[in-house]
Amino acid sequence: MAAYQTLIVETPEAAPGVTLIRLNRPEALNALNTALLAELGQALAAAQADDAIGCIVITGSAKAFAAGADIKEMSDKSYAQMFKDDFFAAGARAIEGTRKPIIAAVSGYALGGGCELAMMCDFILAADTAKFGQPEINLGVAPGIGGTQRLTRLVGKSKAMDMILTGRMMGAEEAERAGLVSRIFPADTLVDEALAVAARIAAQSPLATAMNKELVNAAYETTLSTGVALERRLFHSLFAFDDQKEGMAAFVEKRKPAFKGS
Ligand code: CAA
């Protein structure tokens, strides 16, 4: 496995088919800098290319998932530099372009770019210690990796405006009530629970999983009738795969399916 400076990447024995990516810049509460986002892109591409991997978990430390984009790296940049580098667009594309499911397992701070990274994942599992926020307003800027768009879609306009205009943080329970987070676990079990969820996903047909991910994401981009039509077509197309025959035969024969990804 490649050596990373800003990440710890593992395939834990306890979670077959899962890549665990830990953000690892403890000196900066895992703030996202150019190096970290480039390495995250590499780690995701490696997981995407590996047929043995069916799901990815991104986590941070107990104190911070990620406390935002790296303010020290950004502070002196000019508009021309930000524009020329298309700051963080490549990092965002690497996450958005991953076809395998990505779970964010969030403990502690998920602020600014950290909250945006969590929202770019397919769903968020939170520790009871998680704190979400888009505090960019306090720095005289705005979210820059999708926060104004994704938070609004996830929690609605009123709460998104409240969070983004005040810069306040939201705890795990409020985040779950608002629909930002799918489940909450005690902080000391979060990563194990996330790995168990990921292993369950990795045991499914990778083809059906990829199509299901595409379909849920399409709900953000299309009208209801177009989305439902797309769903019907992809549902029909799944009958072209051996995995559909195996899944349904296993049900009838009262045994566990053994999906092959074909
Ligand atoms: N960028 C760079 N360094 C950061 C950082 C960030 N986003 N967040 C924390 N750090 C660094 C601190 O500077 C500090 O380093 P030093 O020890 O060298 O001073 C170290 O991490 C520990 O942080 P604190 O001492 O501040 O820890 P704390 O427990 O007192 O506070 C905190 C924790 C409330 C999260 C606080 O660190 C904080 O407010 N961080 C900034 C949060 C923020 O504004 N995020 C948005 C960034 S902008 C953005 O993300 C734009 C975008 O959408 C693209």
Q: What is the pLDDT of residues 64-85, one digit of tens each?
A: 999 999 999 999 999 999 999 9
Dihedrals phi, psi of 254, to nearest 5 degrees = 55, 50
Look at residue 188 in the predicted model and tell me its pLDDT. Answer: 98
Kindly give the number of the ligand 1 atom that is closest to the alpha carbon of 29: 21
User: Using one digit for the tens of pLDDT, what is the confidence trace for 181-209?
Assistant: 999 999 999 999 999 999 999 999 999 99
Which residues, including other chains, have CB under 8 Å from residue 164's CB and lie 6 or more apart?
134, 136, 137, 142, 143, 147, 148, 151
Mean per-residue pLDDT, 95-118 = 98
User: Using one digit for the tens of pLDDT, what is the confidence trace for 140-177?
Assistant: 999 999 999 999 999 999 999 999 999 999 999 999 99
In the reported structure, the alpha carbon of residue 28 is separated from the centroid of ligand 1 by a whole-number distance in angstroms of: 6
Looking at every residue in the chain, the average pLDDT score rounds to 97
In the predicted structure, residue 104 carries a pLDDT above the cut 90: yes
**Entry pTM:** 0.97
In the reported structure, the alpha carbon of residue 244 is separated from the centroid of ligand 1 by a whole-number distance in angstroms of: 48
Mean per-residue pLDDT, 212-230 = 97
Question: 3-class SS at 107?
Answer: coil
Look at residue 192 in the predicted model and tell me its pLDDT. Answer: 98
Residues with catalytic function: 69, 113, 116, 136
- Name which of 31, 53, 44 is nearest 92 in CA terms: 44
In the reported structure, the alpha carbon of residue 167 is separated from the centroid of ligand 1 by a whole-number distance in angstroms of: 14
Tokens of 214: 């595409």
Look at residue 258 in the predicted model and tell me its pLDDT. Answer: 96
Residues in the ligand 1 pocket, defined by CB under 6 Å: 28-29, 31, 67-72, 88, 109, 111-113, 116, 135-136, 139, 143-145, 147
Sign of CA dihedral 248, 249, 251, 252: positive
* Sheet-wide strand order for 183-185: 7-10, 18-23, 55-59, 102-106, 123-127, 183-185
**Percent residues over pLDDT 70 in the chain:** 100
| Closest protein CA for atom 20 of ligand 1 | 28
Look at residue 1 in the predicted model and tell me its pLDDT. Answer: 60
